[in-house]
Structure 1
Amino acid sequence: MTTAQLTSPYQHYVYAYPHKTAYRGLEDRPALRDLWAAEPKDALSLYLHIPFCEVRCGFCNLFTRIGAPDGLTGAYLDALERQATAVRDALGASEEVRFATAAFGGGTPTFLTAAELERLCDLAEHRMGADLRAIPLSVEASPATATADRLAVLADRGATRLSLGIQSFVDTEARAAVRPQRRADVEAALGRIRDTRIPVLNIDLIYGIDGQTERSWRHSLDAALAWRPEELYLYPLYVRPLTGLDRRGQDSGPDPAWDDQRLRLYRAGRDHLLAHGYTQQSMRMFRRADAPSQGADDYACQTDGMIGLGCGARSYTAGLHYSFDYAVDMHQIRGIIDTYVSTADFSHAEVGYAMDAHEARRRHLLQSLLQAEGLPADDYRARFGGTPAEDFGPELGRLADRGWLDHTDPTTLRLTPEGLAHSDAIGPELFSPAVRAAMARYERK
């Protein structure tokens, strides 16, 4: 990455490494039983993916489809049950198989009916063996689908965190992001969520929307703060290929003025939340100082021992990250979902990326450095027998030259506040040449 590229704060949101566009079909189709045979299984993470939404937001490039023809959600849950059975069999009958965390994501898990959510919880508990009432359970929702009956199911089955994608409390901004919603409906959904007494409410907001100003951004922040959410995520707007905003022609290449706007709004939002008693966990995540702990933060999906169920989910072992095919185009996504629903044999990995020792080091550095607490040097040495500077000296040197590394504590590798602000440039800077090349060869679909 060139110095000019590194100065742009918004390159790529790194929530998992390697990115799915680096995955390829696995010719040997390894058996899951072999992949998991030597893996620790006493603190697994479980993720169930529901690829349905009532509407697709203009900025969204996640693996999801709009709506579901009659019977599709039931057929999808049937396939999910077949997959869960195959995966649990592959883990073996040992008593060491235990789950430490669980999450339902998407798409929009609450697109499912209350009865279907009951079935989803049953799959997690009875097929996989996850005790949902004893471990942190995070669920994503939208205002329109956060109905009282669905929320009651989630609260009763042990949900400890409910994440609501709002993006903006200003109706005109929501429409500009191709997210049709009304402020009154959003507030009503928040009221229903608070009535359930689920311990942690997270609200997602987006900055950089067309027409958004610092004043309107502050308005959304204050509207969110009125509900005293335990967590807030502040996301910069991206216009990704094949998304609704991209089709509208809003992605015209590098835009320094838009970069400046997003960076200005980020700083305003960060400072506002810090002043209101929130602590910064990462560039995006802010937690109320008195909020109950939920275990791992927003890089939990990076850990080994991840079991992903559903056609958009990833699974992680030490030696292989694997999933199903990936697409953004709606027609392609529908085809992948149809293939998943008709699959009978889920006992092999189909698409993935092999992880070697060097990629494991990169991944650990990346997932730790992008958190506000940083990477303890002793932790890295205990895992890998060296130091980050020995393994990644040139990359870290470039970050230091820009003033983005905090040198006040020699025991911890940590970003400065300005470094955190540039996380979406720093993350891609740490990608390996092999991952970059694989991503560059990916054919968009």
Structure 2
Amino acid sequence: MTVTETPVRPYQHYVYAYPHKTAYRKLPGSPRLADLWAGESRAALSLYAHIPFCEVRCGFCNLFTRIGAPDGLTGRYLDALERQAIAVREALGDTAPVRFANAAFGGGTPTYLEAAELERLCDIAERHMGADLRAIPLSVEASPATATADRLAVLAERGTTRLSLGVQSFVEAEARAAVRPQRRADVETALSRVRDTGIPVLNIDLIYGIDGQTAASWRLSLDAALAWRPEEIYLYPLYVRPLTGLGRHLDPEVADRDWDEARLRRYREGRDHLLAHGYEQVSMRMFRRADAPPQGPDDYTCQTDGMIGLGCGARSYTSKVHYSFDYAVDMREIRAIIDDYAATEDFSRASVGRAVDEGEARRRHLLQSLLQAEGLPVADYRRRFGAEPYEDFPAELETLASRGWLADTGTELLRLTPEGLAHSDAIGPEFFSPGVRAAMADYELR
């Protein structure tokens, strides 16, 4: 009897960081930041500031964000962010120079902040953290509704090199279906404003798999984006998570194979269309125009050791511990966490996180490199860990090879095939350690 392998579901888990936040727990003794950063390199840190506010919560969104900010909450939040920055910079100490290689403002929607508040955010990064925003790559996320001329002018003047606009769809019916109501005319106006600022890199986010989306409507959005010749385009598959607006209306136990196939078709159509129009594939999601100016490290490398996260939804990484604040998806829980953060006075300790041992560091390095189109040079892995990936992960790599997802590139390069890249969201979870899997399974979603 021939045993047929059950088809792998292609959309399981977007691995934008490892370990996932649902594997974080209370850290014993709430260690002092000064102790966590003792002996850590400060030569090329990444800085991330998280702004957890949006004008509307999209139906697919499971990000740590809330709708609106009543009663001066943005001001109180920035007060707390400033207190945190001062505490973090003090913890880093002066025994070695502190240098930042890149910075990013994300969310939420950073441009939910008014122009004067964006000025203050930049001041916090520069005056308290010591990040020279005009001398390093600075990426900022925005929505069409908040990409106003005064906000964009501040960002351009303060050194923003990349502006990522969350368009999702140029088709108004699809935007409504994703609970992201917007008029195409307003989106086009926002894009025009971004181009007028002269910010070097424009990224446009698009989503495939929206209810009612067809090959024709997907092509319409792709062409509408291409008309602006953005330096980058991200293609995101629609995920519907528990406790999000769309997720409340679905049975999470139903495995919708038809939807998987529809998303894979849209992905392949989008990939092929962008490749035919002069874009290079960087990862499953990221496509860069071939003549776009360099922006330093690609998206995955901001997750390497040496990350400073400011804000209640941000993560920080040392070589041995990842830490953050509490995490939730439900709106009421998020509001409570944001309020607690805004009222916090002492930011000298880490309360929630996860230790990262040598084995987890190897998994993290491998999967974050393997999920990039360029792949993992085995020499880099050998140099960093004194080991071979084939010896550390024989079963996982053999599984990829048996499915035709590993390219035939010899023994010195591990690279996914085009079909392997298409299944990145199935490949990533296969490298999760048993400990991380167990912690994620035990997490109580709230």
Normalised by the shorter chain, which TM-score bucket? over 0.9
Partner of 1:132: 133
Partner of 2:159: 158
Is 1:242 the counterpart of 2:258? The answer is: no
Partner of 2:204: 203
Cα pair 1:239 1:251 within 8 Å, conserved:
no
Could you tell me how far 1:422 is from its partner in structure 2? Answer: 0.2
In the alignment, the residues of structure 1 paired with residue 253 and residue 214 of structure 2 have an alpha-carbon distance, to the nearest angstrom, of: 21
Partner of 2:215: 214
| TM-score, normalised relative to structure 2 | 0.98
CA distance 1:203–1:250, change in 2 (3 Å): farther
Aligned length: 443
Q: Which runs of 5+ in 1 are unaligned?
A: none
1:34-433 to 2 correspondence within 5 Å? 34-249=35-250, 251=252, 253-433=254-434
Cα pair 1:139 1:162 within 8 Å, conserved:
yes
SS state of the match for residue 206, structure 2? strand
Q: What residue identity is the alignment partner of 1:231?
A: E
Residues 310-343 of structure 1: CA distance to partner in whole angstroms, max 9, x if unpaired?
0000000010000000000000000000110111
Q: CA RMSD in A?
A: 1.1
| TM-score, normalised relative to structure 1 | 0.98
CA distance 1:99–1:6, change in 2 (3 Å): farther
In the alignment, the residues of structure 1 paired with residue 376 and residue 369 of structure 2 have an alpha-carbon distance, to the nearest angstrom, of: 5
Residues 369-425 of structure 1: CA distance to partner in whole angstroms, max 9, x if unpaired?
000000001000000111110000001111110000012343210000000000000
SS state of the match for residue 322, structure 1? strand
In the alignment, the residues of structure 2 paired with residue 427 and residue 253 of structure 1 have an alpha-carbon distance, to the nearest angstrom, of: 22
Cα pair 1:9 1:259 within 8 Å, conserved:
yes
| Aligned-residue identity in percent | 78
Cα pair 1:245 1:251 within 8 Å, conserved:
no
Q: What residue identity is the alignment partner of 2:66?
A: R
In the alignment, the residues of structure 2 paired with residue 5 and residue 186 of structure 1 have an alpha-carbon distance, to the nearest angstrom, of: 42
Q: What residue identity is the alignment partner of 2:51?
A: I
Cα pair 1:114 1:149 within 8 Å, conserved:
yes
In the alignment, the residues of structure 1 paired with residue 408 and residue 45 of structure 2 have an alpha-carbon distance, to the nearest angstrom, of: 35
Choose 422-431 or 300-309, whichever is displaced more.
Answer: 300-309
Q: Which runs of 5+ in 2 are unaligned?
A: none
In the alignment, the residues of structure 2 paired with residue 21 and residue 257 of structure 1 have an alpha-carbon distance, to the nearest angstrom, of: 28
Structure 1: 4+ residue segments shifted above 2 A: 3-6, 248-253
Q: What residue identity is the alignment partner of 1:201?
A: L
Cα pair 1:6 1:429 within 8 Å, conserved:
no
Residues 66-125 of structure 1: CA distance to partner in whole angstroms, max 9, x if unpaired?
000121000000000000000000000245210000000000000000000000000000
SS state of the match for residue 374, structure 2? coil
SS state of the match for residue 78, structure 2? helix
